[in-house]
Each structure stands twice: as C-alpha cells, then as structure tokens.
Amino acid sequence: MKRGFPFLLVISLLVLGLILPRGARSLMVQMMAFSIFAMAYDISLGFTNQCSLGHSVFFGAGAYGTILPMLHWHFGVLPSVFIGFLLGLVLAFLTGLISVRLSEAYFVIVTAIFSAIFHLLAMDMTWLTGGDDGLSVTLPKIGFGPLKLSLYHPLGTYYFVLAFLLAGYLALRTIVGSPLGMIFVAIRENEKRTAFLGYNVRTYKLIAFLISGTFTALSGGLYAVSLRYATADFFSLYWSIIPIVWCLVGGLGTLIGPCIGVALMSLFQYYVSAWWTYYLVIFGVLILLILRVSRRGILGYFIGRGARGGWRL
Amino acid sequence: MPEGVGFILFYLINGLIWGLIIALISLGLSLIFGVMGIVNMAHGDIYMIGAVLSFYFVSLFGNFWISLLIVPLIVALIAAPTERFILRPFEGHPSVTMIATVGISFILQQVALATFGGIPKKISSPWEVSFDFLGVSYPGYRLLVAAISTLIIIGVWLFLYRTSLGILIRASMQDKEMASAMGINVNKVLIGTFVLGSVLAAIGGVLAAPISQVFYLMGNDVILLCFIVVIVGGLGSLEGTLIAALILSSVEGAMAAFLTPTEARAMIFIIMVAVLMLRPQGLFGSKRT
C-alpha cells in the first residue's frame, strides 16, 4: 500500500490532465508549479530552519530569467527555463553569501530587505521588467527531434509542468534522503552540536539555501511559462510569505506536506477570493492559529503527535 | 527649484526630518526586539494605522492636534491585548514571531483596506507657515515635526534611563531570565514595552500623515527603511538605532537631490550590505543577538 501510493499519485496526475475541464486544469497547472516552490522553500525552512523572506527574489528572477531570453533573443522554452534556473542559482549564491552567516533574527530581516529592494528595483526598471504591467511572450514550440510540442495545446502546458514537478520532486527527494539531507536535518535539530561533530554549518546552510533558491527560480520560470507572462509583482513580499503559508498549512520538514498545503490554499484562494476581497485576513488568522497549535504545520502536527517544540529554534 | 547650497541643504534637512520620524519608529522596533525577541513585521502597519486614524480624526474634528493625543491612546489599547494574548507564546523565537506578525500585518492591512479604501488620501498641513532660509522656502510644519520628534525621543530616553519602569525594561533587554530572577514583574515589562514601541510607531504615523500620503500600504515603505536602520545600527541597540536612523535618512535625503527615490534607497541598501560584510552584528550590536 505504502509503496504503491506514489505510483498511484503519478498515475492519477497523468490521468487528471486528460479528464479535467479547462478551468480546473489551469488551476492544476498553477498548483503544480507552486508545489515546486513549496518543496523548495521547505528545504530552507523545514529542513535547515532558515526562515527566509527573500524567496520572492528567486521566484521573480526565475520568471524573468525565463521570459526575457524568449522575448529578446528568441530562445526555446527549455533553454530559457534553464537560464531562469541558473539566474536563481546565481542570486541565491550572492544573497546566501551575505545572509547565511548572520544570526536568526538578522537572517529573517535581511532576507526581507532583499525582497523589498528587488521589488522596488523591478518596479522601477520598467525598460527591463515592464514594471507592474509586466511582459507578455509568445511561446515557441518545443522540438524533440521530429516531435513538436506546442504549449498552446490545452494539454501541452499541463504535461510540461507535470514533467518538471516529477523531476523536481525526485531530485529533492534524492537530496533529502542522501547524507547531505541528514546533515540538513541535524542543523535544524541542533546547530551547535552539528558544528561540534565537525560539519561546517555555514557551508551546509548555504548549500540548502542554494538548492532552495534554485528550485524556487524553476517554479517561477514554469509559472511564467504557464501564464506566458511575468510581472514585477513576482518580486513582491507576498511571494515570500505565501510559501510559508503553504508549508505551515501542509507541514514542515516533509516534501509532500508543502504540496498538500499548495493544493488546499490554492483551492481556498480560488473559491474564497471570488466572493470576498479581503480574504488575506483569513490568511493572517490562519497563520496565527496554526502557529498556536503546532510550529511544524498541520501535517507535522499529526506526524509529531502535536509536539509543540517540534520546530526547534 | 532652488539652486546651489540651499538646494542641497533643502534635501538634507528633508532627509533629517524624515530621519527623526524614522528614528521614532525604529526605536519602537528595536525596543520590541530587544526586550521580547519579536521581529515585528506589523510595525509598519501600526504606523499606517496611526496615519489612518489621524485622517479620520482630522475629518471628524477638523483639528489635527487632537489626533496626536488620542491616536496613541487608541493604539496602546489595541497593542496591550495583542501582545498578551496573541504574541506572548511566540516571543523569543525570531522566525516564529516574524511569521506571526506577518499574519497580524495581513489583518491590519486588509482591515484598513476594507474601511479606509485603497485610494491614497491627503491631510492638509495643520500649520501653513513657511520659513525662508538661504533662499529656500521651507514649510513650517516639517520643522515642527522635527521639534516634536526630538522632544519625544528625549522623552523616551529620559523614560528609559531615569524612571524605574525604564530601568526594568533595560534590565530585561540585557538579560530577561536574570531580570525575572531578580523579582521583576516581566509581564508588566513585556506589555509596557510593546505598548511603548507601538505608540512610537503610531505617533510617527500621525506626524507623517500631513507630509505624505495616507494609504493602506504606506507601512511597507517605512518598515523597509526601519529594518535597514536597525540592522545597520545593531538589533536591540537603542543608541545604534538612533544614530543609524539620522545618518541613513540624511544620506538618503541628500542623494535624493541627484537620484530617483528608488536609486537613493538602493544606495542605502548597498551601505547596509557593506556594513553587514564588515560587522554582521551591526555597528552597535552585541555579538549575542
């Protein structure tokens, strides 16, 4: 049963693409792109206890890194997504170098400042980003030898993003299950003791931050591809906060948890934002309630049997 | 547009006056962090609430100065239960408090959006006198703001260094457990500090309302500068916060003479990064935080 579950999930995702109506399918595409973001964010918050508010930088960079090469140099979709991915890596490295060596409170604040400054700059540099209006792009067809995949075909985007989601999940699963992932967890559980064991905590925190930032950029790129559009708004603090909500709703320290969080929150947003403009109030209340119950999120609460100190700080 | 020395002086004074308002708000932020370990993401929204309430009082009574008296009281009444019943369980964990205060920030912003609306509004200047100085005409209200802010900062300083509650607050900043062991009523200190910090932000909002636009997202802009200030000055260091607020705002003000506001802000950001590279704990911060 337990072994068959992931297999079943993949099959149902594959089938869902065929049977879902148009609106639900595009919501699903969005959820799959966000799931990569949520898992990537959890590598930072759930696995190494680095509460970053700067992930909108990578999300926005991934989106523009993907859109701009297609727009200006007529790159293909795949190379463009890869460029967005690399841009995320570079930015995560630069911001990580400055921030991972700081203490917890400084880290939180400095990453929030990064997010705010990048948002200001993106809004200001309209010649590059299109500002608030953003930039639209026409997606070229993807060629696999003689086969041509058009992302304008209703199913094209779905399976395109799904492929990345599965690949992203497998990659992150491998990292989390590897000795490197064990070190991440060790840092989360007790940073000082991990340092005593001889691990260079700063380096491993930077590695986690890099992985997290890079996959966030991938998610931003895919989201931009699915919308065929990128806006400076992708850099706003909202995109740094929403992954925290996903992880808290789903559960910290797992990969599936954040995806469940994405699904729940996207459905919630989809239905509630339609009839209530001020639904962010509910977000706020939800954050406070979940934190009161368990700092590992809902799934983490059930796994840890409600251990209050689960998310050690 | 004025020219020469007066021109630069105009921007410098402008920056310095904003610096005093920013110093007020950042002092509150720094106090709250120093005593409770709360990274208060909602601090900018309390500033916004101050400005919005001030707007309502001005349109209700037609008098700005009443709002300067009443708004801090209202904010104090909101802040005390917020600390006691919402934030208390999270205190001491910077990340958790940050997430929790983001939640509070969402709530405050949306409530303001729902009641006040999404369109920026203006309050007319309560003191329409201007002074001529080196060929530049300078609005009197701004100078008054500078004077009021300076008085309040001196007042806060006297409170913290001369009164018994102030000494309790500073003792708790240095070592909360020890302070508690010495028999200090920490409950009183925690509520008092959060109220004081929030009131400072609200007063900043009231004072800033006539010289900027009242808008439900106006806090975001200010909290960014305040965070840069406390990071450069050193988290939890009151002297550092004050000095950093005045210097950074003056520098930003002077640069606004040559650059766009965003470019000037980016320069301040670069200064912050440079300070962090050299001193990860800020200019006046202790290694502990």
Q: Which of A120, A236, A276 to mutate to test the interface with B (most CBs of B within 10 A)?
A: A120
Nearest by CB: A109 against B107, B231, B262: B231
Is A294:A253 a contact under the CB 8 Å cutoff? no
**In the predicted model, is pLDDT for residue A151 greater than 60?**
yes
Q: What is the mean pLDDT of chain B?
A: 89
Average pLDDT over residues B239-245: 93
Q: What residues have CB less than 8 Å from A3, skipping those under 6 apart?
A: none
Q: Looking at beta carbons, which residues of chain B come within 8 Å of A312?
A: none
Tell me which residue of A168, A216, A157, A166 sits closest to A29, measured CA to CA. A157
**Alpha carbons B266 and B252: distance in angstroms, whole number:** 9
Chain A residues with CB under 8 Å of a chain B CB are 49, 51, 53, 98, 101-106, 108-110, 112-113, 116-117, 120-121, 123-124, 237, 241, 244, 248, 277-278, 280-281, 283-288, 291-292, 295, 311, 313
Q: Which of A130-134, A189-193, B45-49 has the highest mean pLDDT?
A: B45-49
List the single best residue of B99, B229, B232, B278 to mutate versus A (max A Cβ within 10 A).
Answer: B99
Write the CA distances from A68 to A3, A45, A94, A181, A230, integer angstroms: 42, 30, 21, 34, 9
Q: Could you tell me what percent of chain A has a pLDDT over 90?
A: 64
- Greater pLDDT, B177 or B77: B77
pLDDT confidence of residue A263: 93
pLDDT of the residue at B14: 86
Are B39 and A280 an interchain contact pair (Cβ–Cβ within 8 Å)? Answer: no
Does B284 reside within a domain?
A: no
What's residue A3's pLDDT? 61
Q: Is the pLDDT of residue A267 over 70?
A: yes
Q: A215 to chain B nearest CA, in Å?
A: 22
Distance (Å, whole) CA A280 – CA B173: 34
Dihedral sign computed on CA atoms, order A6, A12, A17, A18: positive
Alpha helices per DSSP H over chain A: 4-19, 22-42, 48, 55-73, 77-99, 104-124, 126-129, 154-177, 179-189, 191-196, 201-227, 238-250, 256-275, 280-293, 297-303
Which three-class secondary structure state does DSSP give residue A160? helix
- Give the model's pLDDT for residue B83: 93
The residue of chain B nearest to residue A243, with distances taken between CA atoms, is: B99
Which residue in chain A is spatially nearest to B269 when comparing CA positions?
A: A117
> Taking 60 as the threshold, does the pLDDT of residue A152 lie above it?
yes
| Total domains, chain B | 1
Q: How far is A99 from chain B (nearest CA, A)?
A: 9
How far, in Å, are B172, B173, B176 from residue B168 at the CA level?
6, 9, 10
Burial A259-295 (b: 16+ CB within 10 A, else e): bbbbbbbbebbeeeeeeeeebbbbbbebbbebbeebb
A159-210 pLDDT, tens digit each: 999 999 999 999 999 999 999 999 999 999 999 999 999 999 999 999 999 9
- Closest Cα in chain A to B29: A109
- Taking only Cα atoms into account, the Rg of chain B, rounded to an integer number of angstroms, comes to 19
Whether B246 has a pLDDT exceeding 70, the answer reads yes
Least confident of A213-217, A300-304, B192-196, B256-260: A300-304
CB–CB contact A291 B100 (8 Å) = yes
Inter-chain touch A287–B103, beta carbons under 8 Å: yes
Asked if A124's CB is within 8 angstroms of B262's CB, the reply is: yes
ipTM: 0.91
Helices (H) and strands (E) in chain B, counts: 11, 2
Asked if residue B286 belongs to a domain, the reply is no
Q: Are B202 and B55 in contact (CB under 8 A)?
A: no
Domain membership of residue B130 as a residue range:
4-278
Spatial separation of the C-alpha atoms in residues B130 and B263, rounded to whole Å:
29
Contacts of B107 in chain A (CB under 8 A): 281, 284-285
Contact between B34 and B276 (Cβ < 8 Å) = no
Q: What pLDDT score was predicted for residue B76?
A: 96
Would the CB atoms of B41 and A112 count as touching at under 8 Å?
yes
CB pairs under 8 A between A and B: 117
Write down the residue that tokens 């900027």 correspond to: B212
Domain definitions of chain A by residue range: 29-243
- Which chain B residues touch A47 with a CB distance below 8 Å? none
* Confidence (pLDDT) at B131: 79
pLDDT per residue as tens digits for the range B181-205: 888 888 889 999 999 999 999 999 9
Tens of pLDDT, residues B269-284 = 999 999 998 888 888 8
In this prediction, residue A155 carries a pLDDT of 85
The pLDDT, as a whole number, for residue A313 is: 29
Supply the mean pLDDT for chain A: 89
Confidence class for position A277, pLDDT limits 50, 70, 90:
confident
DSSP state of B214: B
- Residue of A237, A287, A293 best to disrupt the B interface, most CBs of B under 10 A: A287
Q: Which of A244, A288, A294, A313 is the best substitution to test chain B (most B C-beta atoms within 10 A)? A: A288
Model pLDDT, residue A242: 94
Predicted pLDDT of residue A304? 56
Residue B235 banded pLDDT, cuts 50, 70, 90: confident
What percent of chain A has pLDDT above 70? 93
